[in-house]
Each structure stands twice: as structure tokens, then as C-alpha cells.
Amino acid sequence: MTAREKILQRLSDRRRSPAVRPRLPHPLRQNDDLISSFAEALIAAGGQPKLLNDPAELESMLARNFPEAKEIFDTRQAPSPGTEVDRKHSWDLAILEGKLGVAENGAVWVEWNEDYPRSVLTLAENLALILPREALVATMQEAYEALDLSKIAYGLFLAGPSKTADIEQALVIGAHGAVTLKVFLV
């Protein structure tokens, strides 16, 4: 056995077995009011919740909430095969479908279709996320348990509009992305 192998063997002998990941208690349960908890957390993150009682109201609600939006990128419709997606430098509004919402922090999980440029997420002035109410979970732990990340090419949690406080310690909204984020719960 060489000196290198002896050193590696000693290190291997001292290695501890991996720790078992603890199960954390969930502060919210399914019988708690997930919608109001989600709305409060989203507001705290700078986002705006919009509750719809009738899914048919969605288009008119979007128009009322974003009346100045002229350049709109809507990911609800897949592009036609062979159609080149407009890869503009910016949009007034991007409409995305959320797959999962987290009540404890107001975050929405968005899975990205690779047919669209990812720049939409950061270059759109406003983001509208459409989220089914039944897609709400209480905690991030529950969210990660519900997601099968091995089947997802790209996804992320969005919680409120883009913000930073590293520029002279002043809060700047929209520095790295959208200025507004509204979640339409249908």
C-alpha cells in the first residue's frame, strides 16, 4: 500500500455516515386556510394576490390589472410546430402558469417550456402567474415532496417582484426582473 493509499484509507475510516434528514413539523396543515396564508405571504414579498371565483373572469381580470400592456408574452399556448418564437428584448407583461404555490412564503413554482426564451422571466416588466387554488401546499417541505425534479428540465420558485437592497442599502424593486408580480388564484 502506497503512502497516498494509506492516507486515503485513514480518511475513509474517519468518515462519518451521512446524517438522516430530519422531518420538520409543518406549521400549516391542509385544514388551515392556505389561501389567506398564501395571500399574506405574497403581499409580504411584494406580490399581489388576485382571487377569482369564476375562471371565465380570468381574461377580463388580466386586462383590468394590466391596462397599459401592449407587448404580451403568454405561455399558456404552446407555439405551433415550426413557428419561431419572438425573442424580443423585453415585454410589458408575461403570463405564466404556476404549478404549485407555497402558503408559508407566497412562492409559486413555475416549470419552464424550453420552446420559450428564459429571458422572459427577467425581462418582462410585469408577471402574471395563474395558479389553481388546489395547487397550494402549506410549506416548502411539502412543495419539494410534491415535485419530481428528475422530470423537470427547468423550473423555479417566484415570490414577489424582483428586488434587491445591495445598492447603497436601499430597496430597489425591479432591478433584476419584473416590477410587479400578481398571482391569479383560480
Would you say residue 83 has pLDDT above 70?
A: no
Residue 30: is its pLDDT beyond 70?
no
pLDDT tier at 4, thresholds 50, 70, 90 = very high
Cα 97 to Cα 116: distance, rounded to the nearest angstrom: 13
pLDDT band at 80 (very low <50, low <70, confident <90, very high): low
Res. 134: pLDDT tops 90:
yes
For residue 49, the model assigns a pLDDT of 94
Distance CA 184, CA 15 (A): 50
Sheet strands (E) in 59-146: 72-74, 91-97, 100-102, 107-111, 124-131, 136-137
**C-alpha cell belonging to residue 106:** 407566497
Spell out the domains of the chain, with CATH numbers in brackets: 28-56+70-76+90-185 (3.40.50.10420)
Q: Per-residue pLDDT averaged across 99-125, rounded?
A: 86
Please tell me which residue, 61 or 177, carries the higher pLDDT value: 61
Res. 123 pLDDT band, cuts 50 70 90: confident
Percent above pLDDT 70 for the chain: 85
pTM here? 0.76
Tell me the residue ranges of DSSP E strands in the chain.
48-51, 72-74, 91-97, 100-102, 107-111, 124-131, 136-137, 155-158, 163-167, 170-173, 180-185
The answer on pLDDT for 71 being more than 80 is yes
pLDDT over 60 (residue 176): yes
33: left (phi over 0), alpha (psi -120 to 50) or beta: beta
Give the mean pLDDT of the chain: 83
- Confidence at residue 79, expressed as pLDDT on a 0 to 100 scale: 63
Q: Which residue has the higher pLDDT, 113 or 106?
A: 106
> Does residue 6 surpass a pLDDT of 80?
yes
Radius of gyration over every alpha carbon of the chain, rounded to an integer in angstroms: 21
Once rounded to an integer, what is the mean pLDDT over residues 77-102? 76
8 Å CB contact between 70 and 119:
no
